[in-house]
Structure 1
């Protein structure tokens, strides 16, 4: 685009001079008042589509030419206007920020708190660990290189970044031990019977060299949990979606299984919705489901009667040493109980306990 583009009015005046036409002559040709031509030549009036077509008809050119000449001049003028360029720079920055982050959602969560654009950009770069807003988060680049078929949505990416941020604030107490993690996993269903039992879980995981964090589920984002490595240590993130004790427990065991199975490392991470095991999914998810199921019950689940009643559920829960809702949830997943069964009424939820992890 030419920076020193002549005003379209001057170019029109040159055309009239080349034809020995006065402004009055040209106005008469156009069927317009002389003032109309004068205002265009003096830059007081912009050429419209209609007037461009009339000028083109009179001069044997095209309407597009005159509209283009006018736009080139106005854009060149705008490019040299400092105030306009400052405003446009702000627009570009806000667009880059929005490419990375759901800003309003993160403001509501008090994750982003800046009130001016410059500080907001810094907070976004810190959250996603970017050197520039033009960059892509390194974990996305690494994951795409390792898993070409997997992409995260904006909300999944943001949830991942929030989990990583929380994890960095909680250094593990011990080096990671797969044996300690497996032993801990085997004890969870035996020790997590109430919401309060969940409150000290992060400390128990720190002793195994694993960081356990809670980042509340984002609206409309189907995220139950995730597993990843941060600074050489495994991290498990839970969203608490659904809040029901058995669902959160199974998600936790599922993510533990991903770590124990070696499905995650510095280059591979998992952010997921725990789907119905009957729905069919990849090999890693099947392996994680199977191991989570083994970790859930210390002994074989008893044969299920044709009619399932509360006393039988209580008996099995006592026999297996698990919360009553864990038995009910297992039967629901196995499709032996309807999801609307009255046996699940007043099921314990763990949302308040998860909030204490922050």
Structure 2
């Protein structure tokens, strides 16, 4: 038996040849299988496909393997599919969709309204524009250039897509005033004492725009695990916030952390810094990225508590937090969050119960 002929002939024809070689009629073979004669006839004529069960029976009767008969059938069906122009067109579309999804999470980007194309041609054009590619043969540039707070890990396609969403959103913002590092340092130092309630976040884009920084809010894509970023877009400094965690203190710390990166000159053209704030610092990591993260963390912590942390009582209570926060001119949740970040308070502490969320205010930014 020449299996190569399976590229042209169905498995039923091979079965007919086997029966002829043995001098068996279809009725005799059906009796051997304990099947109706019609069963064998339909397999030979190609009207019925060979199943796992029937392949095992045929193999047992002809002293061959069941796998051989299933393989003969599958090879023939695949060969038929290759001759079908519609099937090949459908498969080409599958390949194109897979290629697009390798660039980014297409369904999520469509749900977020970033991509609106109905046809594959339209989607391909949109993906090229969104990721600023020369063609689909290229990869998003920011994915390779970005520096991460958890140094050594590559950006996921979700995180890369979010970066480009921030990049495009920043271009829709009003032109900022000339950048002033001195004014940005002053803003970073003042914000922990300004942002005490969700309503205080409303004017942040205008405030930072006045010192030459565009501030944008782009909700994190599900599973992206990203808090914020700092980048330079068209020669303008940009901070992006995802609002992950929603809590006032978490968003505040992400913001002042990104401001610290900008004031220290860590952000270079086409090399954004991407933050996951709750990643633990590795003391054995002596890379430039790790050193910059520590510097930004120290600066942000100093802005939150310029006089340092007061001696802590043996038991941290609500009244103590309220008084200590008032003494430091901070929102109580900001002090709680800072203590959690320093591992002085458990992340599940009841002192964080009822913490104010600010995502609804960020969403109202123009």
TM-score normalised over the length of structure 1:
0.77
Match of 1:268, SS state, is: coil
Match of 2:238 among 231, 235, 249: 235
Aligned partner of 2:326 in structure 1 is 314
TM-score normalised over the length of structure 2:
0.76
1:287 aligns with 2:290: no
Aligned partner of 1:81 in structure 2 is 84
1:8 aligns with 2:8: no
Is residue 321–residue 336 contact of structure 2 (8 Å, CA) maintained in 1? Answer: no
- 1:312-345 per-residue CA deviation (whole Å, 9 max, x = no partner) reads 543432xxxx556545544554566777466x67
- For 1:30 and 1:45, locate their aligned partners in 2 and report how far apart those are by CA, in whole Å: 16
- For 1:62 and 1:335, locate their aligned partners in 2 and report how far apart those are by CA, in whole Å: 64
Q: CA deviation at 1:168?
A: 2.7
For structure 2, which runs of at least 5 residues remain unmatched after alignment? none
Is residue 331–residue 337 contact of structure 1 (8 Å, CA) maintained in 2? Answer: yes
Aligned partner of 2:258 in structure 1 is 255
Say which is worse superposed, 266-275 or 111-120, in terms of deviation. Answer: 111-120
Give RMSD over aligned pairs.
Answer: 3.9
Residues 44, 335 of structure 1: CA spacing in aligned structure 2 closer, same or farther, 3 A cutoff? closer
Q: CA deviation at 1:152?
A: 2.3
Match of 1:293, SS state, is: helix
Residues 351, 99 of structure 1: CA spacing in aligned structure 2 closer, same or farther, 3 A cutoff? same
Say which is worse superposed, 199-208 or 210-219, in terms of deviation. Answer: 199-208
Residues 32, 230 of structure 1: CA spacing in aligned structure 2 closer, same or farther, 3 A cutoff? same
Match of 1:247, SS state, is: helix
Is residue 322–residue 332 contact of structure 2 (8 Å, CA) maintained in 1? Answer: no
Q: How does 1:148-227 map to 2 (within 5 A)?
A: 149-170=152-173, 172-174=175-177, 176-227=179-230
Residues 5, 278 of structure 1: CA spacing in aligned structure 2 closer, same or farther, 3 A cutoff? closer
Q: CA deviation at 1:140?
A: 1.8
- For 1:230 and 1:182, locate their aligned partners in 2 and report how far apart those are by CA, in whole Å: 20
Q: CA deviation at 1:130?
A: 4.4
Aligned partner of 1:296 in structure 2 is 304
Aligned partner of 1:355 in structure 2 is 363
Q: CA deviation at 1:274?
A: 1.3
- For 1:96 and 1:303, locate their aligned partners in 2 and report how far apart those are by CA, in whole Å: 55
Is residue 96–residue 134 contact of structure 1 (8 Å, CA) maintained in 2? Answer: no
Match of 1:6, SS state, is: coil
For structure 1, which runs of at least 5 residues remain unmatched after alignment? none
Is residue 2–residue 76 contact of structure 1 (8 Å, CA) maintained in 2? Answer: no
- For 1:302 and 1:55, locate their aligned partners in 2 and report how far apart those are by CA, in whole Å: 81
- For 1:85 and 1:9, locate their aligned partners in 2 and report how far apart those are by CA, in whole Å: 25
Is residue 326–residue 332 contact of structure 2 (8 Å, CA) maintained in 1? Answer: yes
Match of 1:223, SS state, is: coil
Is residue 114–residue 123 contact of structure 1 (8 Å, CA) maintained in 2? Answer: yes
Q: How many equivalent residue pairs?
A: 350
Match of 1:227, SS state, is: strand
